[in-house]
């Protein structure tokens, strides 16, 4: 939720790279080798011939006592036969009272293709997110999707841009921006109940709208759904219209503290109408 402007600029720069537009991922190979990304504050690798960038974005690295790494483990085939991005995220971050409430960064896979189109121009954004967690301590953090929209094509940094979060799972008492202001709306989506919270990220000046799945109904390691349904649910809430642009899209986890590792497989792509 505290994604920084510099980070988003980096993503914008990436999306300008010429990459092929693809309609199916099933048979795409990649020359990108498996690797660990442990550099801070920013370390990333674009996955060749696929719509993804794997990113270790530790924008609050100065507050990390320990380490946080994101890895690309290779392309894998999911149970649905579609190609997924295999990746992992390992944090070994001491719980320090003064920074236990500070997200240390964002470990994620971002989209590099078919961004900067209006919702109306997008047919679907099929997503699957598998994760297996192994933790050796209590930890604080979430598993989420994070998208950015704006009525201006390509804008992900002005205060007119909007950051949208979908919290599939959260541990250790992590709370969304705007929590203190209370629930803005309750929404049914993907067959579950979600609470909408809104507030301005004081680091970026951007309003963040977080849909947080009910505590008792959290996802336990698997999500499948069309991300466009989430965006349309927010259109119904009046956040924007279908002519707004989807400028950034990604899925990942926000580490606060703990000794924990996640092995993930992500399917995510934007299919244009
Ligand atoms: C990801 O998994 C690979 C293969 O097991 C391992 O070598 C690597 O250290 C892991 N990286 C992270 C960040 O968890
Ligand atoms: C791992 O995390 C879960 C969920 O927060 C927690 O219930 C469990 O106690 C943790 N395991 C260890 C070894 O601390």
Nearest to 47 by CA among 273, 271, 269, 272: 269
Query: Which among 131, 139, 169, 253 is the best mutation to test ligand 2's pocket, defined by most ligand atoms within 8 Å of the CB?
Result: 139
Stretch (H or E) spanning 145: strand 140-150
Q: What is the pLDDT of residues 79-129, one digit of tens each?
A: 899 999 999 999 999 999 999 999 999 999 999 999 999 999 999 999 999
Q: What is the pLDDT of residues 180-218, one digit of tens each?
A: 999 999 999 999 999 999 999 999 999 999 999 999 999
Report the distance separating Cα 217 and Cα 103, nearest Å: 23
Which is it for the CA torsion 58, 158, 206, 236, positive or negative? negative
Q: Which residues of 14-31 are buried (b: 16+ CB within 10 A; e: fewer)?
A: bbeeebeebeebeeeebe
Across residues 34-61, what is the average pLDDT?
A: 96
Of the pLDDT bands very low, low, confident and very high (cuts 50, 70, 90), residue 147 is: very high
Quote the ligand 2 centre to 26 CA distance (angstroms).
36
Quote the ligand 2 centre to 111 CA distance (angstroms).
31
CATH class of 4-154+220-226+242-272: mainly beta
Q: What percent of the chain has pLDDT over 90?
A: 88
pTM (global) more than 0.85 = yes
Q: Is 269 exposed, middle or buried (0-12, 13-18, 19+ CB in 10 A)?
A: buried
Q: What is the pLDDT of residue 199?
A: 98
More confident residue, 256 or 9: 256
Per-domain residue ranges for the chain?
4-154+220-226+242-272
- DSSP β-ladder status, 206-213 and 162-171: parallel
Nearest to 201 by CA among 159, 144, 235, 249: 159
Ligand 1 atom with the shortest distance to the CA of 261: 14
pLDDT score of 6 more than 90: no
Average pLDDT, the chain: 92
Nearest C-alpha to atom 2 of ligand 2 is from which residue?
Answer: 138
Residue positions counted in the chain = 273
Q: What is the pLDDT of residue 268?
A: 98
Give the pair of three-digit tokens for residue 227: 């991300």
For the CA of 220, the nearest ligand: 2
Q: What is the pLDDT of residue 28?
A: 77
Is the shortest distance between the CB of 113 and ligand 2 below 6 Å?
no
């Amino acid at each position: 939720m505290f994604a920084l402007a510099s980070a988003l600029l980096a993503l914008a720069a990436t999306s300008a790279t010429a990459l092929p537009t693809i309609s199916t991922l099933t048979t795409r190979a990649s020359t990108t080798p498996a690797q660990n990304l442990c550099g801070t504050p920013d370390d990333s690798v674009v996955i060749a011939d696929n719509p993804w960038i794997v990113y270790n974005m530790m924008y609050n690295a100065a507050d990390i006592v320990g380490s946080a790494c994101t890895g690309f483990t290779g392309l894998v085939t999911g149970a649905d036969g579609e190609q997924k991005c295999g990746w992992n995220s390992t944090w070994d971050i001491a719980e320090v009272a003064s920074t236990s409430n500070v997200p240390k960064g964002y470990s994620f896979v971002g989209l590099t293709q078919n961004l900067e189109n209006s919702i109306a121009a997008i047919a679907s954004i099929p997503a699957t997110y598998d994760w297996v967690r192994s933790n050796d301590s209590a930890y604080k953090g979430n598993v989420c999707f994070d998208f950015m929209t704006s009525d201006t094509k390509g804008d992900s940094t002005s205060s007119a841009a909007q950051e949208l979060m979908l919290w599939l799972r959260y541990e250790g008492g992590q709370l969304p921006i705007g929590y203190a202001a209370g629930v803005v709306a309750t929404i049914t989506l993907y067959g579950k109940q979600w609470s909408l919270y809104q507030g301005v990220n004081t680091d970026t000046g951007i309003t963040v709208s977080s849909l947080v799945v009910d505590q008792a109904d959290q996802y336990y390691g698997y999500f499948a759904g069309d991300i466009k349904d989430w965006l349309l649910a927010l259109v119904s809430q009046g956040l924007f219209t279908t002519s707004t642009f989807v400028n950034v899209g990604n899925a990942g986890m926000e580490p606060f503290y703990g000794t924990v590792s996640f092995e993930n497989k992500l399917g995510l792509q934007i299919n244009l109408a």
